[in-house]
């Protein structure tokens, strides 16, 4: 009897093999250079309307944290769905404040293919999106960068920044100087700094990577020609000075960035979306990016599901190729 001879009532799913990939395995499988290239292609597809990605819903747990569900699909990839839970008190119990899980589904059948840890992916893809903006928008001769924030995002920015520019110095500023010192020890060109204003004023690239509810720098500190990226998400306001986004060349992942949180960015509230350029349009050369050496460019990221989809598919494909992960029956 073939399935064509069965009624729907006679068909059950049965136990299907599902690949499981742990955080440590994800870290070994996801190549940073491949991720940067994949995200660049993803941003172009996003700006061309080739990515399906509904707005993310949010569940808030009063006094504890919040949970976001993020899904995306484009032709040639598996469907990706991520749930990320943000609990600020977690570090006190030795857990990251961002915990995430990603599932992948076969676009032809809807069958579950893979369950993987999404915590590392959330960290690295967030930084990698900012690094794609540095590659596209920072001056070619950029030599000094400053990372504001010495947490998870500071760590990932420090790993990825040298992949797109040959910096002579990467300065790291943090609320706790000792945290900046610990992070700077990871790279020979990194240096912890106490004077954040002096560091920003001397920089060609400034990467804001905090969970601050208020601006962490002042717009007047940013000199002509600097590229500023911001990946922090802390509604209703955030780490990026409104004046930087309002008064200079602004770039975003999508124009959804101008919606209210949890879909968009609090720092962009009240700014005309018509002033912004999607990063994918710069990468495809549909619209200009940097047009002069004295131009200040600003990239404000909200974190979109396309980034998770790209990172998870790269990880899954490499796991299949390497015979990594392990199958369980569900």
User: Is the domain of 97 the same as that of 49?
Assistant: yes
Is position 129 within any domain? no
Write the DSSP symbol of residue 54: P
User: Is the domain of 144 the same as that of 117?
Assistant: no
User: Is the domain of 228 the same as that of 298?
Assistant: yes
Is position 23 within any domain? yes
- Domain coverage including residue 278: 138-303
User: Is the domain of 73 the same as that of 192?
Assistant: no
User: Is the domain of 158 the same as that of 263?
Assistant: yes
CB 199 within 8 A of CB 140: no
For residue 191, the model assigns a pLDDT of 98
For residue 14, the model assigns a pLDDT of 86
User: Is the domain of 287 the same as that of 149?
Assistant: yes
For residue 237, the model assigns a pLDDT of 86
Distances (CA, A) of 80 to 75, 114, 307, 312, 325: 12, 10, 10, 7, 17
Domain count, the chain: 2
User: Is the domain of 106 the same as that of 186?
Assistant: no
146: Cβ contacts below 8 Å, ≥ 6 apart: 170, 171, 172, 173, 193, 196, 199, 200, 202, 203, 205, 206, 207
User: Is the domain of 103 the same as that of 168?
Assistant: no
CATH code: domain of residue 322: 3.30.1780.10
For residue 13, the model assigns a pLDDT of 87
CB 165 within 8 A of CB 229: no
CB 232 within 8 A of CB 215: no
Is position 3 within any domain? no
CATH code: domain of residue 263: 3.40.50.720
With vertex at residue 133, the alpha carbon angle to CA 201 and CA 107, rounded to the nearest 5 degrees, is: 155
* DSSP H/E element including 116: strand 112-117
User: Is the domain of 312 the same as that of 224?
Assistant: no
Q: Could you give the CA distance from residue 221 to residue 198 in angstroms, rounded to a whole number?
A: 8
User: Is the domain of 97 the same as that of 205?
Assistant: no
User: Is the domain of 269 the same as that of 324?
Assistant: no
User: Is the domain of 320 the same as that of 296?
Assistant: no
Per-residue model confidence as pLDDT tens for the chain (330 residues): 456 788 888 888 888 999 999 999 999 999 999 999 999 999 999 999 999 999 999 999 999 999 999 999 999 999 999 999 999 899 999 999 899 999 999 999 999 999 999 999 999 999 999 999 999 999 999 999 999 999 999 999 999 999 999 999 999 999 999 999 999 999 999 999 999 999 999 999 999 999 899 999 999 999 999 999 999 988 888 999 999 999 999 999 999 999 988 888 989 999 999 999 999 999 999 999 999 999 999 999 999 999 999 999 999 999 999 999 999 999
């Amino acid at each position: 009897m073939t399935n064509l001879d069965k009624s729907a009532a006679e068909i059950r799913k049965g136990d299907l093999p599902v690949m499981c990939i742990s955080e440590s395995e994800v870290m070994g499988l996801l190549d940073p250079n491949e991720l940067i290239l994949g995200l660049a292609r993803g941003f172009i597809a996003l700006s061309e309307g080739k990515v399906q990605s509904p707005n993310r819903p949010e569940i808030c747990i009063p006094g504890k944290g919040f949970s976001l569900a993020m899904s995306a699909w484009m032709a040639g990839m598996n469907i990706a769905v991520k749930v990320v839970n943000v609990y600020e008190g977690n570090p006190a119990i030795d857990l990251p404040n961002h915990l995430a899980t990603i599932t992948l589904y076969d676009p032809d059948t809807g069958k579950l293919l893979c369950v993987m840890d999404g915590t590392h992916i959330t960290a690295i893809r967030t930084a990698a999106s900012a690094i794609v903006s540095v590659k596209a928008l920072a001056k070619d001769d950029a030599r000094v960068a400053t990372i504001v924030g010495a947490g998870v995002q500071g760590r990932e920015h420090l790993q990825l920044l040298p992949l797109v520019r040959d910096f002579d110095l990467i300065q790291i500023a943090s609320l706790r100087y000792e945290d900046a010192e610990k992070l700077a020890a990871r790279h020979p060109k990194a240096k912890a700094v106490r004077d954040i204003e002096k560091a920003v004023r001397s920089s060609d690239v400034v990467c804001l990577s905090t969970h601050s509810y208020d601006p962490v720098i002042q717009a007047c500190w940013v000199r002509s020609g600097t590229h500023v990226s911001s990946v922090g998400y802390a509604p209703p306001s955030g780490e990026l000075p409104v004046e930087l986004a309002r008064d200079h060349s602004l770039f975003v992942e999508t124009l959804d960035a101008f919606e209210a949180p949890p879909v968009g960015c609090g720092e962009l509230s009240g700014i005309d979306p018509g002033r912004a350029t999607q990063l994918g349009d710069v990468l495809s050369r549909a619209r200009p990016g940097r047009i002069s050496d004295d131009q200040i460019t600003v990239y404000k990221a909200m974190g979109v599901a396309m980034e998770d989809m790209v990172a998870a598919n790269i990880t899954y494909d490499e796991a299949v190729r390497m015979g990594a992960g392990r199958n369980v029956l569900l």
